[in-house]
Chain A
């Protein structure tokens, strides 16, 4: 087949059904909807939520999880677009870990050392480690599908960042349920749960995002 013939065939397939930006936006909305269904059907908001929302520790969990979701989304859109400099997004991903680290230090200053153990282990760790990845699966799958419209240089890395976005969404829901609000707990178990999702994202990205 001559190159001109190939061009003829490509030209007949001209329109683009899913542009990358729109595909990612749809994946985020759809993924959040799936996570919401799982959350409201099987998990639910914690019973003392009206009291909890008046505490800094409860609200701060959302600051961290939303910071993760927003910064990872910004980065993934740049990673998947060839020729677009990463710019500030490369560093923006540090926002959630830095916020967490600062809150851990503040907690160490504010709370007596004898309470650290119980604050760290909490009461919900196994649930945290299973429910965040569970709720992240829907958003991750849809994001990977959307990212197939993109052209990331490093598919595994893009999959890992997609895992961060999905974790950010899932952890935001989970945080509304979980009774453990200490930064010690969040920094340990949320981070581990996010690591699990990142690993899944890396492996899936290597497989599905190559082009």
Chain B
């Protein structure tokens, strides 16, 4: 059985996110991640994958959720949407790592949560793929993610407008997803 209060909470955050609320969106992504982590570890463990491998899959799935969030119809429950996105992406992500598997659709909302990997275990896939983006895109992604700079500060440092930084960030994330797709093909 699905947890209705959690589902309502996730849906409310996502609705705010679609309208541009970065804070709500962060809460949503942070709430979803431990569930993805548990699912990815369970799948990965079947093939002897490490927690770090699973975290690579988590990041790839998060990117897919992000880029496909416009396909959620806010008048519908968010649970089935996210479960199908995660299942489809997880099949792709595991297949690309050489695991031919059929992943059943699991209720993401009701999956037990798993703790983050300990510090020091940086994720390799995203770093490797990031290094293949244009230099300016890399700079912007690193500045906003790893350094935690705001869009405004990043724009000032690079003498760009905030709008241009936002567009560049969006393009970089799309390019990253495309690299995941074409990786090892």
Residues of A in contact with B (beta carbons under 8 Å apart): 1-16, 18-21, 23, 80-84, 149-151, 153, 210-211
Judged by a CB distance under 8 angstroms, whether B50 is at the interface is no
Q: Which residue of B lies closest to A23 (CB)?
A: B70
Distance (whole angstroms) from the CB of B4 to the closest CB of chain A: 16
**A15 and B20 within 8 A (CB):** yes
**A11 and B22 within 8 A (CB):** yes
**B25 and A14 within 8 A (CB):** yes
**A1 and B68 within 8 A (CB):** no
Residues of B in contact with A (beta carbons under 8 Å apart): 17-26, 29-30, 33, 55, 58-59, 62-64, 66-73, 76, 79-85, 88, 116, 119, 122-123, 126-127, 130, 141-142, 144-146, 148, 151, 166, 169-170, 173, 177, 181
Q: Report the Cα distance A84→B81, complex, angstroms.
A: 7
Q: Report the Cα distance A82→B64, complex, angstroms.
A: 12
- Determine the chain B residues whose CB is within 8 A of the CB of A11 once the complex forms: 22-23, 25-26, 29
Indicate whether A10 sits within 8 Å of B63 (C-beta atoms), given known contacts A82-B85, A84-B80: yes
- Determine the chain A residues whose CB is within 8 A of the CB of B151 once the complex forms: 12
Distance (whole angstroms) from the CB of A206 to the closest CB of chain B: 12
Q: Report the Cα distance A19→B126, complex, angstroms.
A: 27
**B144 and A9 within 8 A (CB):** yes
Indicate whether A13 sits within 8 Å of B169 (C-beta atoms), given known contacts A1-B127, A8-B148: yes
Q: Report the Cα distance A71→B57, complex, angstroms.
A: 37
The 3 closest A-B pairs by CB, nearest first: A83-B80, A82-B84, A15-B20
- Determine the chain B residues whose CB is within 8 A of the CB of A1 once the complex forms: 59, 122-123, 126-127, 130, 142, 145-146
Q: Report the Cα distance A10→B83, complex, angstroms.
A: 19
Q: Report the Cα distance A173→B138, complex, angstroms.
A: 48
- Determine the chain B residues whose CB is within 8 A of the CB of A16 once the complex forms: 17-18, 69-70
Q: Report the Cα distance A3→B33, complex, angstroms.
A: 8
**A9 and B73 within 8 A (CB):** no
Q: DSSP majority for the B interface?
A: helix
Distance (whole angstroms) from the CB of A65 to the closest CB of chain B: 28
Q: Which residue of B lies closest to A210 (CB)?
A: B181
**B55 and A3 within 8 A (CB):** yes
**B25 and A10 within 8 A (CB):** yes
Distance (whole angstroms) from the CB of B33 to the closest CB of chain A: 6
Q: Report the Cα distance A15→B15, complex, angstroms.
A: 10
Q: Report the Cα distance A153→B83, complex, angstroms.
A: 13
- Determine the chain A residues whose CB is within 8 A of the CB of B26 once the complex forms: 7-8, 11
Q: Report the Cα distance A12→B169, complex, angstroms.
A: 8
Indicate whether A3 sits within 8 Å of B62 (C-beta atoms), given known contacts A11-B22, A14-B17, A210-B181: yes
Q: Report the Cα distance A149→B72, complex, angstroms.
A: 10
Q: Report the Cα distance A7→B148, complex, angstroms.
A: 11
**B18 and A6 within 8 A (CB):** no
**A15 and B145 within 8 A (CB):** no
Taking A2-B119, A16-B69 as known contacts, 16 extra A-B pairs with beta carbons closer than 8 A to each other, sorted by chain A number, are A2-B123, A3-B58, A3-B123, A6-B145, A10-B62, A10-B173, A11-B25, A11-B29, A12-B151, A13-B173, A20-B70, A82-B84, A83-B82, A149-B68, A151-B64, A211-B181
Distance (whole angstroms) from the CB of B170 to the closest CB of chain A: 5
From the candidates A4, A10, A149, name the one contacting B71 in the complex (CB within 8 A): A149
**A9 and B141 within 8 A (CB):** yes
